[in-house]
Structure 1
Amino acid sequence: MLLDRIKPLDAILATANKKSLNRTLGAFQLTLFGIGAVIGTGIFVLTSAGAQKAGPGLMLAFAIAGAVCIVAALCYAEIAAMIPVAGSAYTYSYASMGEFLAWTVGWALIMEYAIAASAVSVGWSGYFSGTFLNEILGVSLPPALSAGPLALGGAPGGVINLPALIIALLITGLLVIGTSESAKLNAILVSIKVIALTAFVALTFTSPEFSTDKFNPFLPAGIFGGWGTGVGAVGAAATIFFAYVGFDAVSTAAEETKNPQRNVPIGLVGSLLFCTVFYIVVAAGAVGTIGGQPIMGPGGVPFPAGSEELARQCAMPEHAGALVCSNEALAHVLREIGFSGIGNTLGIAAFLALPSVILVLIFGQTRIFFVMARDGLLPEKLSSVHPKYKTPHVVTLLTGGVVAIAAAFFPVGKLADISNAGTLYAFMMVAIAVMVLRRRDPQRQRSFRVPAVWIIAPLTVLGTIFLFLNLPTEAMLFLPGWGFLGIVIYLSYGRRHSHLGRGVVEVVDDIGGLEHDFPIDTPASKPDR
């Protein structure tokens, strides 16, 4: 049976018990940590794509996406505090729902991280070309080298997104040789982002260009654009859900938190509420100054973000200054209202900060890949460690190559939608895992418990399904297609080579790099026939 292999939770927790981490973090530190983890890619990169889908209703879209994230965050907090080891939602699923479903989660996470890294690379490319090269150095990159053919279709130019390709390969090289981001440098970059966005809000709301008339019509495509269309406020929420990914970093700090029962939910919900309000205000500033109405196609439906049709419209002079046509939306807004210098500074803030996000995403993807390989579900070669640099170089190079190719040929909006499909599936499975473990192991110590779990967890499941169904059709279809490929690999390789299936539970300590073998005598230890 496919659902017969469940990794013993006691074996998984044996790794966590080897750790002796001090509980030093309070609610305020956790909230700041969450803000730093969340604010980044989405608000800098996806504002224009969101406006094309929802118009001024972009503000409502941020609220919808934030609400789904808050209920998901509570589920994430409980299970991360219970199982504070490597593997994220993949490990949680392995301990609650078994190897097969854990495989599907891990396979979706591989897709999520890799494609998200590609999306950030494309977003960085827009700021590199528009702010750094054009505005600062006065150099214009040919259109053929600044966007891929799948971004511009038949519009002028568009062969390869060279900056996106290069930044993805550079980050991959850094990860292979073991270079990681400095905590102090990261704190500085977070401060730069928050200060830049605060300045954006102050300048737009006090600008003579700001007018409430620009918010009408507020929902030009309605709240629901229709299943599979990806437009309307809910369709935009499904896309800009990408802007909130990263909050799970707070839940992973549960073991180092003082009074986690109180401080973990404060840190999670507090940081998400702050970011949601911040995002709404930033969106209001952008729309209120230069407008945010989408460019409509036949039948009054907005052209799809990142489509050939939209690219043709944006190439026309009458749309040159439109918010929805900018690759660096926030810097573009400030330039349009006469603050070119500050707009360039904001663009430089994004230019400096986004590579660290790419690094974290590729790193996270390789760790999921690495743990699955160490469990025997993928070839052991993928878990090879470089003899000099002591990094999983094989899987890092493989991941980096895929990220670079996707970044070179796809637009940011489509990449974010596909990444969100994997994220929403993983979040849904975490919520289900919380309910399963509450039933199966109710006496297990939980340093944080989801309040009203039988309401919150089902709401998380419904919320993630709701947003998934409002993604564009191609993004919805990509996940099951990718999942089918994963199932084929699992049945043809992973199930036969699984360590759990061979009777050995191998736990990897992501801090110490230790392994512990726990022989087990369960039906799962018997080989397949």
Structure 2
Amino acid sequence: MTARPAGGGGPPDAGGFARSLLRTKPVDRIVAEGGRGTGGELRRTMGLLQLTLFSVGATLGTGIFVVLGSAVPLAGPAVVASFVLAAVTALFSALSYAELAGTIPVSGSSYSYAYATLGELVAWVCGWCLLLEYGVSVSAVAVGWGAYLSAFFDTTLGFTIPAELADPPGGGGIVNVPAIVVVALAAFLLLRGASETAAANTVMVFLKIGVLLFFCAVAFAAFRSGNLSGFAPMGWAGISAAGSKVFFSYIGFDAASTAGEEARNPRRDLPLAIMLSLAIVTVVYVLVGLAAVGAMHWTRFGGADSEASLANVLDAATGAAWPSAVLSVGAVIAIASVVLTVMYGQTRILFAMSRDGLVPPVFQRVSPRRSVPVANTVIVAAFIGLLAGFVPLGRLVDATSIGTLFAFALVGLGVIVLRRTRPDLPRGFRVPLYPVTPLIGVALCVYLMVGLGGITWLVFLLWGLLGLVAYFAYGRRHSRLGRADA
């Protein structure tokens, strides 16, 4: 009997197959390849301010404009404490992101961190989940932009966008034109270049923070201390329930980590941007929450118009229509900023996955003139635009939350693995109280994942199975790391 030569045509041994799925990409190689794509390189143009506002832009969106209406009835005036509780929960994941962003400053965010620490298959699943999270969530946000734009037109001009042009098929319309328009505008800015994108986002973030501070000024003028009596009518259980409700308003603080290859000083600035953005968003949320429950008694929140809770507060405080119109402008700007920054993040994660060979090479082609992945951006914009314009997303949007939590948990695990395997690496930031902090972050993510509904889990598992099919059909066969190890 002739022995089969190594590397012959027979089936690979099970051990070798398992090792190929768990192969990690060396950090030094990941960093060395940073910024390079086919045809050109990404340009390092972003400083600390732009990076911080990227994360603020991705986080400070629709959540604060609609979340109070459903959170206040759960906690009463103690919703302020719920925002702090949610911020502390997000902080554990943010600290882990800050360490890995300062250690592996590349565009792939949690995908690249998982590749360096937990292996290729885990990294693929993470990247695949991010594609669902980014693609579906930004489509849903674009749909919301159309609703707020229509409300603004109705309030200020007495004009309502016809339902046929403001809703997708199955939702009462033919095509959601405003959603496609905002995606196209975001794509136009992204194609102009990273510095132009950052400049536009900076303007939008300052405008929407200004609108929210305007809300606080008006609401605090009508503040009544008696509205805070019986501060926590539902006790800790109510604060905790409302905290879970508002937690997802904090998702987006990691956006700066997708700009690792376009930051001028990534090891220093990426960790700072992540932590500063979380602090800024927390302060804004607490101020808005305190102003709202101080100006209007908490029992008046909720009901059929809960999504217009901030507008209701302004109406109660002033009795005039113009403050609500100003708030609508803020909502339109806030949502446009989220569309821009999340689309940016998706193009950069696809760029990193393509450079590793796990998705087709078209996604890493960089324009020498603009230093942006042009084809990547056009494909992403077309996909998101079609999804937002023609598909009623419904409850699929809720399933994006589980992908986010999954990525957060992997980042916490990645910190622990990299501390053990590469303690020598230069780190721009170190998680305090290691390993307790990342472990708490992982536990909190798992806890929130377990609490999500059955449909959310079903969509997550089906999407994961589809991702495994895609990996074994394409990614594993074209993996640059796999070819290098062959």
Shift of 1:43: 1.8
CA distance in 1, matches of 2:336, 2:282: 23
Shift of 1:110: 1.2
Q: Does 1:100 align with 2:106?
A: no
Is 2:248 aligned against 1:242?
no
Q: Is 1:136 paired with 2:156?
A: yes
Deviation at 1:382, TM superposition (A): 4.3
CA distance in 1 between partners of 2:471 and 2:266 (Å): 37
Equivalence for 1:335: 315
What is residue 13 of structure 1 aligned with on the other side? Answer: 31
CA distance in 1, matches of 2:282, 2:457: 25
CA distance in 1, matches of 2:108, 2:76: 38
1:167 aligns with 2:179: no
Question: Are 1:439 and 2:417 counterparts?
Answer: no
Pairing of 1:49-448 with structure 2 (within 5 A): 50=71, 58-131=79-152, 133-143=153-163, 145-147=165-167, 161-172=176-187, 175=190, 181-207=196-222, 212=227, 218-219=233-234, 222-223=237-238, 232-242=241-251, 244=253, 246=255, 248=257, 256=265, 260=268, 268-290=274-296, 314=304, 322=305, 324-326=306-308, 329-337=309-317, 338-383=319-364, 392-408=373-389, 409-410=391-392, 414=395, 417-448=398-429
Query: CA 1:32 to 1:363, structure 2 compared with 1: closer, same or farther past 3 Å?
Result: closer
Distance 1:257 1:184 in 2: 18
Shift in CA distance, 476/17, structure 1 to aligned 2, threshold 3 Å = closer
- What is the RMSD of the two structures over their aligned residues, measured on CA atoms? 4.1
What is the Cα deviation at residue 443 of structure 1? 1.9
The Cα of 1:364 is off from its aligned counterpart by: 1.4
Quote the Cα distance in structure 2 between the aligned partners of 1:498 and 1:22. Answer: 27
Partner of 1:473: 454
Unaligned 5+ segments in structure 1 are 152-156, 226-231, 297-312, 315-321, 504-524
Conserved 8 A contact 2:44-2:261: no
Judge conservation of contact 1:37–1:247 (CA < 8 Å) in 2: no
Alpha-carbon separation, structure 2, partners of 1:23 and 1:355: 22
Alpha-carbon contact 1:108-1:422 (below 8 Å) kept? yes
Deviation at 1:411, TM superposition (A): 6.8
Distance 1:24 1:139 in 2: 40
Preserved CA contact (<8 Å) 1:204 1:285: yes
| Partner residue, 1:309 | none
User: For residue 189 of structure 1, what is the amino acid of its counterpart?
Assistant: M
Residues 475 and 491 of structure 1: CA distance in aligned 2, closer, same or farther (over 3 Å): same
Q: How far 1:339 moved relative to its partner?
A: 4.0
Match for 1:460: what amino acid?
G
| 1:108-138 deviation line (CA, Å, top 9, x unaligned) | 111122123123213322320111x111221
Partners of 1:407 and 1:22 in 2: how far apart? 32
* 2:3 aligned residue: none
Q: Could you state the TM-score of these two structures normalised by the residue count of structure 2?
A: 0.79
* Paired residues, number: 462
Select between 203-212 and 347-356 the one with higher mean Cα deviation.
203-212
Once residues 256 and 367 of structure 2 are traced to their aligned partners in structure 1, the CA distance between those partners, rounded to angstroms, is 31
CA distance in 1, matches of 2:78, 2:296: 15
Please report how far the alpha carbon of residue 424 of structure 1 lies from its aligned counterpart in structure 2 after TM superposition.
1.3
SS for the counterpart of 2:398 is helix
Q: Residues 24 and 257 of structure 1 are in contact (CA less than 8 Å); yes or no, is this contact kept in structure 2?
A: no
Q: CA deviation at 1:369?
A: 1.7
Q: Percent identity?
A: 34
- 1:462 is matched with 443
How far has the Cα of 1:237 moved from its partner? 3.3
> CA distance change for structure 1 residues 238 and 476 in 2, over 3 Å: closer, same or farther?
farther
Matches of 1:17 and 1:182, distance apart in 2: 17
**Partner of 2:357: helix, strand, or coil?**
coil
Gaps of 5+ in 2: 1-16
TM superposition shift of 1:24: 11
Q: 1:217, 1:144 → 2: CA distance?
A: 45
